Amino acid sequence: MSLAKRKNTFVCQDCGYESPKWMGKCPGCGNWNTMVEEVQAGASGGRHVTTGKRTVSKPEPITQLESQKEPRITTEMREFNRVLGGGIVPGSLVLIGGDPGIGKSTLLLQISAQIAKKKMRVLYISGEESTRQTKLRADRLGVQEAELYVLSETNLYDIGQQIEKLKPELVIVDSIQTIYREEVTSAPGSVSQVRESTGELMRIAKSNHISVFIVGHVTKEGAIAGPRLLEHMVDTVLYFEGERHHTYRILRSVKNRFGSTHEMGIFEMREEGLREVLNASEIFLEERKAGTAGSTVVASMEGTRPILVEIQALISPSSFGNPRRMATGIDSNRVPLLMAVLEKRVGFMLQNQDAYLKVAGGVKLDEPAIDLAIAISIASSFRDQPTEPKDIFIGEVGLTGEIRRVSRIEQRVQEAAKLGFERVICPQHNLDGWTVPKDIQVVGVSTIQEALEIGLAR
């Protein structure tokens, strides 16, 4: 009897780079001390999960292919459906990541129960909890559905056999770092195990037309643990974010082959589970104090959805040689850039001032349209002069002080009008080609100087 050949390779645990010898610094990602030795079996070892006769596909002209729009599986959570692009696509592979204890398992168990309530079979596979522990969490959430099956297993071969027998419409794998294949001799959670297990689950999803959700652990930097290849393999990547000590959670889409990216859904964590928040703008603005210097409101686009959030700035004289520039919720490099524009184009002496900026509510904003609101909040705090409480500021600020055009201005203004705001200060070039709602005034500005003259209350 011939034994399968084995070879030793060193694999980077961050990016998946493979090398026949150990190196202190990974050539792929440049990180130090991430190369770990793994023993890989030859092609003849191990058991395969999928069985059946292999079929060979043939190329076809795209003009002869039929377009079939398959119905999506919708849940009772409209926020969850919207982040996915309208619901769960049959045969899709979805990766959801987030910090420990943030509520990933709670969300997926609630989604499983809602799908099972529609008489669709769901298999919830937990590699971290026993079936009794899963049952305790289900009792707390009020989950009692006969079509929801629970399995505690980490062997991918056994998982594949159970999927073949049960034939569910939806499979939840919690988490991918606990699943292993027998023919891969490295430990569960290693780069090789995560890559091979995800590849096999993808084949199961596509060949059997089953929707598969896999949970991924995250690193201390907030990225999903394992090789970057993992995010390229799946159809959709979702991040579940939020502070553990706050009740609000944000489900963000960063990749979606079946819908728009950067969609955002907001949920509130309660004793009985997660509850969706349909009007996020009211939540982020409910504690705003009117008439306070350094506070502005901006309409930011999160995917296809406009959200109104408050930006706060605190400018104070520096006690050190190098003034501090700190920001929470926005890119910290954007703060000194906008302060330099205010110094050069408006004449503010900010070089000896500490600057602290924050996006209220724990939201992270990264689009250029928030530049004007940041600049106005900095100027408002520096002059100790509040803005009008019913004003919205939208626009990108250039280095020469000009206010540049932004996208989807109509949706932003409509959201502001819906929440009772009375005036929108936006780029002059955004005023053409659409109709302004009746109950709101839109003022176009071309420079940062014009925006300050209009926006700061007298």
Contacts of 266-269 with C-beta under 8 Å, sequence gap 24+, read 266/79, 267/77, 267/79, 267/103, 267/107, 269/103, 269/106, 269/242
Distance CA 326, CA 77 (A): 36
What phi, psi does 388 have (nearest 5°)? -65, 130
Does the global pTM surpass 0.85?
A: no
The yes/no answer on whether domain 283-455 falls in CATH 3.40.50.720 is no
The token pair at 278 is 């349909």
Where exactly are the structural domains of the chain?
A: 6-41, 73-278, 283-455
Is 174 annotated in a binding site? The answer is no
For the record, the structure tokens of 347 come out as: 């004449």
Handedness of CA 215, 216, 221, 223 (dihedral sign): negative
Banded pLDDT at 238 (limits 50, 70, 90): very high
Task: Kindly report the number of other CB atoms within 10 A of residue 212's CB atom.
Answer: 26
The backbone torsions φ and ψ at residue 31, rounded to the nearest 5 degrees and listed phi first, read: -85, 155
Q: Are 161 and 204 contacting, i.e. CB atoms less than 8 angstroms apart?
A: no
Task: Give the model's confidence band at 220: pLDDT under 50 very low, under 70 low, under 90 confident, else very high.
Answer: low
Asked if the model's pLDDT at residue 346 lies above 90, the reply is yes
| 98 marked ligand binding residue | yes
The structure tokens listed for 207 are 């060949």
Give the pLDDT band (50/70/90) at residue 224: low
Whether residue 195 is predicted with pLDDT greater than 70 in this model: the reply is yes
Residues 6+ apart with CB under 8 A from 319: 354
pLDDT value at 445 more than 60: yes
Residue 25 assigned ligand-binding role? no
104 annotated among ligand-binding-site residues: yes
Note the pLDDT tens digit of each residue in 89-115.
Answer: 999 999 999 888 889 999 999 999 999
Helix (H, G, I), strand (E, B) or coil at 182: coil
What is the average pLDDT value for the chain, to the nearest integer? 88
Confidence of residue 49 (pLDDT cuts 50, 70, 90): low
Contact in structure between 81 and 223 (CB atoms under 8 Å): no
Determine whether the annotation assigns residue 368 to a binding site: no
**Confidence grade of residue 43 (pLDDT, cut at 50, 70, 90):** very low
Is 67 labeled as ligand-binding? Answer: no
Q: Which residue type does 192 have? A: S
- CB burial readout 80-110, b (16+ within 10 A) else e: bbbbbbebbbbbbbbbbbbbeebbbbbbbbb
Per residue in 15-41, pLDDT (tens digit) is: 778 888 899 998 888 888 888 887 665
CATH of domain 73-278: 3.40.50.300
The β-bridge partners of 309 are 298
Of the pLDDT bands very low, low, confident and very high (cuts 50, 70, 90), residue 221 is low
Task: Tell me: pLDDT of 120 over 60.
Answer: yes
Q: How far apart are CA 20 and CA 4, in angstroms?
A: 19
99 is in an annotated binding site: yes
Residue 329 annotated as binding?
no
pLDDT of 323 strictly over 70: yes
Give phi and psi for 21, each to the nearest 5: -135, 160
Residues 251 and 240 sit within 8 Å (Cβ to Cβ): yes
